[in-house]
Copies of this chain bind each other. A is one copy, B any other.
Amino acid sequence: MSSESVAPTPEPRKSDAAERRRAEILEQSARLFDRSGYNKTSMNDIAEAVGVRKPTLYHYFDTKDEILYWLHEEFINTLLTQQEARIAERVPADLMVFEIMADILALMQTHKGHVRTYFENHRELPERHRTTSHEKRDRYRRMLEDAIAQGTKEGTFRHVDPGLTALAIFGMVNWAYQWYEIDGTRSPRDIATVFADLVLNGLTASPPRA
């Protein structure tokens, strides 16, 4: 404490290099899982991509499942933080719905491998990790449900089932992991605009009788 005067990094709890290695392993894993699938990618493949040998991976992650678990952590924590900020700022419900959709669609550009791998394999996670990851996922789902319920309470939204409606909206955006092309013409935010317009205003031409 007292001896450090010009330390550039105040508190590197764990070795800084270790943290970067860990991040690199997750990044390469996501890349390979996205390209070849979780099950068809071996720990050896990951090690090679990172530039180390297989046993070194096990210095950072106890099992392959653990890598999958942390891929989920990386993006679900982002989503939770972003939405928590909006709740604190009391963002209007309709805007919240749009922003949640935009957040998730943004992942398709920045964390496609993470998302795909989790969506397609979370059921096969060992009990412990599956449960805790589902808790965060469910917490996020409740955030959207709350935003919908709030919108109804404030008169912005019609009376709808918040649970089913949230599942519909999540479906719209989550499914993008199946078709979104990173080098496509539309940005995630453009797509969010179109999707939010659809879910807020509907497909029907003449406004429904109020």
Q: Which A residues have a C-beta under 8 Å from some C-beta of B?
A: 36-37, 39-40, 94, 97, 119-121, 123-124, 148, 151-152, 155-158, 160-161, 164-165, 167-176, 178-179, 186, 191, 194-195, 198-210
Which one of A121, A156, A158, A198 has the highest number of Cβ atoms from chain B below 10 Å of its Cβ? A198
Contact, CB under 8 Å: A206 / B201: no
Q: A124-B40, A172-B172 are in contact. Are A200 and B203 (CB under 8 A)?
A: yes
Name the contact of A179 in the complex, choosing from B155, B167, B201, B203 (C-beta under 8 A): B167
A-B interface, 7 closest residue pairs, ranked by CB to CB distance from nearest:
A207-B207, A171-B175, A202-B202, A39-B39, A120-B120, A171-B172, A201-B202
Name the contact of A208 in the complex, choosing from B40, B148, B155, B207 (C-beta under 8 A): B207
Contact, CB under 8 Å: A206 / B210: yes
Contact, CB under 8 Å: B205 / A202: no
Name the CB-closest residue of B to A176: B171
Complex CA gap A194/B209 in Å reads 17
Give the residues in chain B near A97, CB-CB below 8 Å: 203
Name the CB-closest residue of B to A38: B39
Name the contact of A203 in the complex, choosing from B40, B151, B170, B174 (C-beta under 8 A): B151
Which one of A191, A203, A208 has the highest number of Cβ atoms from chain B below 10 Å of its Cβ? A203
Contact, CB under 8 Å: B202 / A37: no
Name the CB-closest residue of B to A173: B171
Contact, CB under 8 Å: A203 / B172: no
Contact, CB under 8 Å: B158 / A205: yes
4 more contacts with CB within 8 A, not counting A39-B124, A165-B194, A202-B204, are A148-B203, A156-B205, A200-B203, A202-B202
Name the CB-closest residue of B to A158: B205
Give the residues in chain B near A161, CB-CB below 8 Å: 194
Q: A167-B176, A168-B198, A175-B175 are in contact. Are A203 and B160 (CB under 8 A)?
A: yes
State how many angstroms separate the Cβ of A91 from the closest Cβ of chain B: 16
Name the CB-closest residue of B to A199: B203
